[in-house]
Amino acid sequence: MKTTPLFEAHKALGAKMGAFAGYDMPLYYGEGVIKEHEWVRKHTGLFDVSHMGQVTLEGAGAAQFFERLTPSSFQAKKPGRAQYTVLTNEKGGIIDDLIVTRLSEDKFFAVINAGCKEKDIEWMRQNLPDGLKITYMKDHALLALQGGWAERILHETFEINAHELPYMHLMEARTPYGTKIFVSRLGYTGEDGFELSVPADKAVEVWEALNNHPEVKPIGLAARDSLRLEMGYPLYGHDINEGTSPVEADLSWVIGKENKGFIGAARVLNDRENGPARKRVGIRLMDKGIAREGAEIRDSQDKKIGELTSGGFSPVLKESIGQGYIESKQANIGEKVFVNVRGRNIPAEVAAMPFVPARTKSMKKQAA
C-alpha cells in the first residue's frame, strides 16, 4: 500500500490508519470522528490530502484543451482563478471531478482524485494536442487547512497574508524558511480554508508548524467525509461516476454558456435542455436511524424511486442525512419519501443542499 510523505507523522500522533484509494491514510486521531468534525466547524483542522493527484498543463491552447475535456469555460479566466469542474467521457459521463486553476496565460494547475489520478492523466495524454505538456507533480504533497481561523493561522505561522485572496483563487507564497508553495482558498468542508501544495520533502516541516498552533488539530478522512456530506458535495465513485451526467448530478452550473464542443456534449446538453430522468438530491431522515449508501428510497406506495449514494450522521444537525438519485418528477424540496434501512421504511424528505450553511469567503476581491 502507498503512503504519503506524512505517514510517520500520522503514526506519531496515534492516528487510526486505514486503506483509501490504495493509500494507508489517517481515518481519525485520538478524539474520534465526531469531535474532529465539531473542531473543524468551531476552530480549524489540518488534513493530509497528499494522496490526491497534482498536475500542471502548459503550452499554447491550454485553455481550449480544458474546454474540450470539461464542459466549463476557461479562456476568459484570469490567472489565479480556480474552477471546480468534471472530466467527461464520450457518453457524457463523469470520468472524475477536479479543480483546475489558471496559473498564467498558457499554464494550468489541476488537483484530481486519488483513486482516479492514473486514469485521468492517461485520458489527458490520449487527448493531448501537439505543443502541450502535462507534468505529474509526484514530488509534491497537499495539505488542507480548514476552518474559521485558517486565514489567521496561515499569517501567524508562516507570515502569509491571504486576506485579499478570494474564494476559489490561488496565490504563490513562501514560508519564512523559503519553501515555495501554492495557496488555494478552497476546500471540501464548506468552511473557509486553504489547500497548500508543498514540496514533498518540506511536508513534515509545514505540517508540524501548522499543528503547533493552538487552534489547529489534525483531522482524518472520516471527518472529512462527514463534513463534505453536510455540504452536499459529491464523492467520486459513490455520488458520481462514469455513467452519471453532470446535469443529473445537479452540477449544471459547471457548464460554460459558450462551451458546446466538449467531449460528451450531446448527452449533457440534451439533459440540460430536456431534463434528466433522475436527479441527485439531498435526503433528510425524519425519524431515528442511520441510512447508508445503497439504501433504497421509496415513495408512499412503497415503490423504489431511487437509492442513496452517500449517507451518515450529521454532527451539526444531530440527524441522519444523505444524498442519492431519485426520479426527476419527485426531486422536489420537501417531497415526502421513505428510506429503507434493514427492512424498515423510515420517513424522510427531499432536502436542499447544503444541509448546513457554507462559510466560505466571497469570490470577489476585497477592497484594500
Mean pLDDT across the stretch 264-283? 98
- pLDDT over 90 at 367, yes or no: no
Q: Is residue 367 part of a domain?
A: no
- Judge if 83 and 213 occupy the same domain: yes
- 4: alpha, beta or left? (left if phi > 0; alpha if psi -120 to 50): beta
Q: Is residue 63 part of a domain?
A: yes
| Domains contained in the chain, number | 2
- 147: alpha, beta or left? (left if phi > 0; alpha if psi -120 to 50): left
Which range among 21-25, 150-154, 288-292 shows the weakest confidence by mean pLDDT? Answer: 288-292
- pLDDT of res. 57: 98
Alpha-helical runs (H) found in the chain: 7-12, 33-42, 62-69, 117-126, 150-158, 203-211, 221-231, 265-274
Tell me the per-residue pLDDT of 40-79, one tens digit each, with 9 for 90 and over.
999 999 999 999 999 999 999 999 999 999 999 999 999 9
- Judge if 261 and 305 occupy the same domain: no
- pLDDT over 90 at 368, yes or no: no
- pLDDT of res. 363: 82
Mean pLDDT across the stretch 87-103? 98
* Residue 335 belongs to domain spanning: 277-351
Q: Confidence band (pLDDT; 50, 70, 90) for 366? A: low
Last residue in a domain, options 224, 253, 276: 276
- Judge if 142 and 163 occupy the same domain: yes
Share of residues in the chain with pLDDT > 90 (%): 98
Mean pLDDT of all residues in the chain? Answer: 97
Q: Which three cell numbers stand for residue 112?
A: 484530481
- pLDDT of res. 364: 74
